[in-house]
A and B are shown apart, each in its own frame.
Chain A
Amino acid sequence: MANDSDENKPTSTAAMTEDDLLLQDQQLKQIEDEQKASPLVGDKLPFYALAGLYDPVSAITFFTKANELAAIYSDIRFIRGDGNCFYRAVLVGIVEILMKDRERLIKFIDTGREWMAKLVKLGFPDWTCSDFCEFFIEFLEKIRDGKYTEAEVFQNLNDDGTANYLLMYFRLITSGFLKDNCEEYAPFIAEGMTLQQYCETEIEAMWKEADHLSIMALVRATGIRLRIQYMDRSEAPNGGYQHDLPDEADNVTPDITLLYRPGHYDLIYRNLVAQ
């Protein structure tokens, strides 16, 4: 792509001709089409479906681990791998909790309103951000008022336009949380970038994967207890197979558990009998 070496500082778009751009567009379109072949949020499947993805010989580590985990977890929902998977898994996990817990649902609606006011105060583009918040609050209110069946809720979570509109609320409060606690979190931002820039380019933009900082921010912004289950020990920040947020020492049952496989999160459910 970069064939114009005369440029002193070629950016990715610097040396692109229209043909290059067209080709890139086609490639991106192809990747996107492949992603769209799987649903945004899969149905709940028995956990052993995971082991079925791995070859017992060539992928022995993951195959074995998947079988081990099947003793603890009963179900899995595969989430589309489009860069939004972390936020989407949390969105779905939270909505599932709220459908069963009315008190928490009402509290979450109130928190949504508080966030809306806070985002404006933090200097987010006023009306567009309020619009995302309002959309999310209206969605929860419809659940509260019994206007959606569970099937309809999942229809919405699987409709690209609606689901991504809802998801944007989570990106905004993630970003809002970091901006609100700028002093605490600014030291964790890689050099050469301000916290503001990080929030704008890595969190507020769609299709950007969440890293540890944004994960922590979303957990604290929503007040959920999250467990991330790893397939191998090299990825977890604490060097173990699982990582609990916001507080490691908490050791209470998490609200939501995510399975992390390199570069991707799915939603998993504990086997209640085994507990």
Chain B
Amino acid sequence: MTTPSRRRLMRDFKKLQEDPPAGVSGAPTEDNILAWEAIIFGPQETPFEDGTFKLSLEFSEEYPNKPPIVKFISKMFHPNVYADGSICLDILQNRWSPTYDVAAILTSIQSLLDEPNPNSPANSLAAQLYQENRREYEKRVQQIVEQVNWSWLNFGENEGDAVMKDDIDVEEISQGAGGGGGGDDADDRMDEGASGSNA
């Protein structure tokens, strides 16, 4: 039997494909509709510009009544992102509403990138630099952007990258990001979304 959460996630996915918001994309992993991977592009004219950040979304059978657990898999330097990639964002916690869908979650996180809330710091250094030394903050962010983008192309060489800890199929994704075909369906979808939003 399809549970309401799975049914809803299929609809979220369909909606995301038919009407993709700019600069974000996401898809369930091949074998589990409750586990999604997503990509957020750093908004233009912000220090995050050109960054391609990967996230994981972990849904439960109680979605959409409960929010998914969303984490950055890519490295991140941001006042509201913890060291393990967890995100401190009100709509993912106490202000969650079942009327939000995956597209709304991803676009909210995308906005959070350039509109941090330094009053609820998850990364105190990032929060401090953001408030006291914006120039240094932006430099650190740009370093992360470079590292993250580099890791998409050169997986094996970036041992410190958080992506390496996960058991996702590194080879297929690096192939896709490098422009080569041959990924499976899920990755192809991801790539289409990515290039579409970039254009």
Q: Give A residues with C-beta under 8 Å from B.
A: 7, 9-14, 16, 18, 124-125, 127-129, 131-132, 135, 160-162, 164-165, 168, 172, 200-201, 204-206
Closest to B65 in A: A164
When each residue 156-170 of chain B gets 1 if its CB lies under 8 Å from chain A and 0 otherwise, what string results? Answer: 000000000000000
- Cα distance A206–B95 when bound, in Å? 10
Number of interface residues of B (CB under 8 A): 29
Asked if A200 and B15 make an inter-chain contact with CB atoms under 8 angstroms apart, the answer reads no
Asked if A161 and B99 make an inter-chain contact with CB atoms under 8 angstroms apart, the answer reads no
| Contacting residue for A161 out of B62, B82, B86, B104, CB 8 A | B62
Closest CB of chain A to B89's CB: distance in Å?
10
Q: Give B residues with C-beta under 8 Å from A.
A: 3-5, 8, 11, 15, 61-62, 64-66, 82-84, 86, 88, 93-101, 104, 119-121
User: With A9-B119, A14-B120, A128-B101 in contact, do A160 and B61 touch (Cβ < 8 Å)?
Assistant: yes
19 additional A-B pairs beyond A160-B62, A164-B62, beta carbons within 8 Å, are: A10-B119, A12-B94, A13-B88, A14-B121, A127-B11, A127-B101, A128-B98, A128-B101, A160-B65, A161-B3, A161-B65, A162-B3, A165-B4, A168-B98, A200-B95, A204-B98, A204-B99, A206-B96, A206-B97
**Subset of 20 A-B contacts with CB under 8 Å:** A11-B119, A11-B120, A13-B88, A14-B119, A14-B121, A18-B83, A124-B99, A125-B104, A128-B98, A128-B100, A128-B101, A160-B61, A161-B4, A162-B3, A162-B4, A164-B65, A165-B8, A200-B97, A205-B97, A206-B98
Which residues of chain A have C-beta atoms less than 8 A from B101's C-beta?
Answer: 125, 127-128
Which residues of chain A have C-beta atoms less than 8 A from B119's C-beta?
Answer: 7, 9-11, 14
Closest CB of chain B to A125's CB: distance in Å?
5
